[in-house]
Amino acid sequence: MNYLSTRGDDTRKSFCQILLEGLAPDGGLYMPDEYPQVDETVRAKWRTLSYPELAFEICSLFISDIPSSDLRQLINKTYTAQAFGSDKVVPVTRLEEGLYLAHLSNGPTFAFKDMAMQLLGNLFEYELARRGQTLNILGATSGDTGSAAEYAMRGKKGINVFMLSPHGRMSPFQQAQMYTLQDANIHNLAVQGVFDDCQDIVKAVSNDLEFKRRYNIGTVNSINWARLLAQVVYYFYSYFQVVSSDDARVSLAVPSGNFGNICAAHVAHMMGLPIYRLVLATNENNVLQEFFSTGTYRVRKPSETFETSSPSMDISKASNFERFIYDLTGRDAPRTRQLFGVEVPEHGGFSVNEAEFDMLESYYGFVAGTSTHADRLHTIADVYKLHKVLIDPHTADGVKVAREHMNGIVPTIVMETAQPIKFAATIKEALDIEPPMPQQAKGLMGMPKRFEVVPADVKTVKDYIVKHV
């Protein structure tokens, strides 16, 4: 299996060659040169596998430059009951007639990003050791991504993490999660500013190519192919837990922001997983819902991007979306380059043609819907009253939109993307109760914190990195 860029640079690269990279040199995203096909016979065999066994089968189809025994070991040490709360790793529960929840948020930071990031940490450590290199990960976070990255990279040899967060602006639980880490390779920089200031600093440092090369600066953002690959696994795994025949179809409902999670579902679909509908849920930031309903993709200005109560879905553009458009256009790289390299930057968007628009649902299975703050509160309260199940605001967006698209025949699996404790204020608003503290997080709020407050200044951040690598 080799990888190429969505924008036409077709120098074939191996998995480990793209593992530590972000964008391809031509600005595109890496894609596998083909989707391995998984037929009914293979699915029947996979049905009985444990989560790590299944992860190994799927990953080995896409990774040809890590010896099998090493890959198996990396996967086995990632998906443990200790890290993910149970032997199942991703338990699936029935919520109501035809509607299921796949619990992706039982990892160390209680959000689905752990599913991929925990594997990424082990893959990075392995590949860096093999190359005799080190990596300094620089990132900006408003919550979920930063903590998932830090818990994945803590204590890893050859890796430092420098994570910028807006000082005093994350929820108390998120601050406790990140700032109580005492590992010497984890550096929390609390920037006196907002999230955009943090992102601007990361961009400025990364654009200084000399500094970037000299200090081995890298990232772990959601366009990393290895993250996407790790996410393909739980779609197959959830499918096996819901239907007992290997050709029955299911629908998948995914609370979406940067199109990473649902892009992995699309990959599973292209590999042959029998999917009826891919139900994409957005919040008030409905860039993607608009695209799937009208065929027009329109990037939002900062003034049109809202801060909502499902903050991990607050996006102005969707960074993985280019991967789907590449497939939709029949893998037409010059056209993808025109759309994302020219139309998006210059005019802020594009429209697909009529034939492509027709295929969105009929061939690719995509349908979409939007959920508002009022919908989230209603859904959280409704699900709790009907089923005594507490869901977080992002999952509530998924449940709300999933219910709108159910047909009474095909079961729908909603991806649960975070635990309610991370968004306690919204739970309190919906139900006037405090979400329970997960067992693994007991005591967290009282632990000593370790972070550095810095001004929103590029030079200060660079100096800090130089002093601590």
Q: Pick between residue 56 and residue 110 the one whose CB is nearest to ligand PLP.
A: 110
Residues 415-444 that bind ligand PLP (CB under 6 A): 417-418
Nearest to 71 by CA among 151, 1, 126: 126
Identified binder of ligand PLP from the candidate list 52, 108, 255, 420, rule CB under 6 A: 255
Q: Segment near ligand PLP (CB under 6 A), from 209-217, 252-260, 323-331, 436-444?
A: 252-260
Contact characters 88-117, ligand PLP, x per CB under 6 A: -----------------------x-x----
Min dist. Cβ of residue 222 to ligand PLP (A): 6
The two most distant CA atoms of the chain are separated, in Å, by: 60
CB contact at 8 A, 203 and 452: no
Residue whose C-beta lies closest to ligand PLP = 260
> Which contacts of 112-115 are long-range, i.e. CB under 8 A and separated by 24 or more positions?
112/261, 112/415, 112/416, 112/417, 112/418, 113/144, 113/145, 113/148, 114/83, 114/84, 114/148, 114/151, 114/152, 115/90, 115/230, 115/231, 115/234
Residue 222 touching ligand PLP (CB under 6 A): yes
Q: 324-332 long-range CB contacts below 8 Å, 24 or more apart? A: 324/259, 324/263, 324/266, 324/364, 325/6, 325/297, 325/352, 326/6, 326/29, 326/31, 327/266, 327/270, 327/364, 328/352, 328/356, 328/359, 328/360, 328/364, 329/356
> Which region among 161-169, 173-181, 255-263, 267-275 touches ligand PLP (by CB under 6 A)?
255-263
Q: Which value, to the nearest 10 degrees, does the dihedral of the CA atoms of residues 278, 279, 282, 287 take?
A: 50
Q: How far is the CB of 187 from ligand PLP (least distance, A)?
A: 22
Q: Residue 197 belongs to what H/E stretch?
A: helix 195-207
Token pair of 155 as six digits: 């204590």
Concerning whether 88 is annotated as a catalytic residue, the answer is: no
Q: What is the number of other CB atoms lying within 10 angstroms of the CB of residue 155? A: 12
If binding is defined by CB under 6 A, does position 185 make contact with ligand PLP? Answer: no
Catalytic residue among 13, 113, 400, 462: 113
Q: Which parts of 327-366 interact with ligand PLP (CB under 6 A)?
A: none
What token pair was written down for 261?
């999670």
Question: Per CB under 6 A, which of residues 273..312 are in contact with ligand PLP?
Answer: 312
Contact positions with ligand PLP (CB under 6 A) in 127-166: 144
Stretch that binds ligand PLP, among 181-189, 201-209, 251-259, 429-437 (CB under 6 A): 251-259
Contact 165, 191 (CB under 8 A): yes
Cα angle 348-326-363, degrees, rounded to a multiple of 5: 110
| Rounded least distance, CB 440 to ligand PLP, Å | 17
Minimum distance, C-beta of residue 174 to ligand PLP, in the bound complex (Å): 11
Q: Is 191 in the site for ligand PLP (CB under 6 A)?
A: no
- Residue placing its CB nearer to ligand PLP in the complex, 164 or 333: 164
Shortest CB 122 distance to ligand PLP, Å: 20
In the complex, least distance from residue 436 CB atom to ligand PLP, rounded to whole angstroms? 18
Q: How far is the CB of 316 from ligand PLP (least distance, A)?
A: 13
Binding test (CB under 6 A) with ligand PLP, winner from 193, 260, 341, 365? 260
What sign for the dihedral angle of Cα 152, 393, 441, 143? positive
Integer Cα distance of 424 and 392 in angstroms: 9
Of the candidates 261, 309, 370, 412, which one interacts with ligand PLP according to CB under 6 A?
A: 261
Q: In the range 363-402, which residues lie near ligand PLP by CB under 6 A? A: 394
Q: Which residues are catalytic?
A: 113
Q: Where on the chain is the footprint of ligand PLP (CB under 6 A)?
A: 111, 113, 144, 222, 255-261, 312-313, 394, 417-418
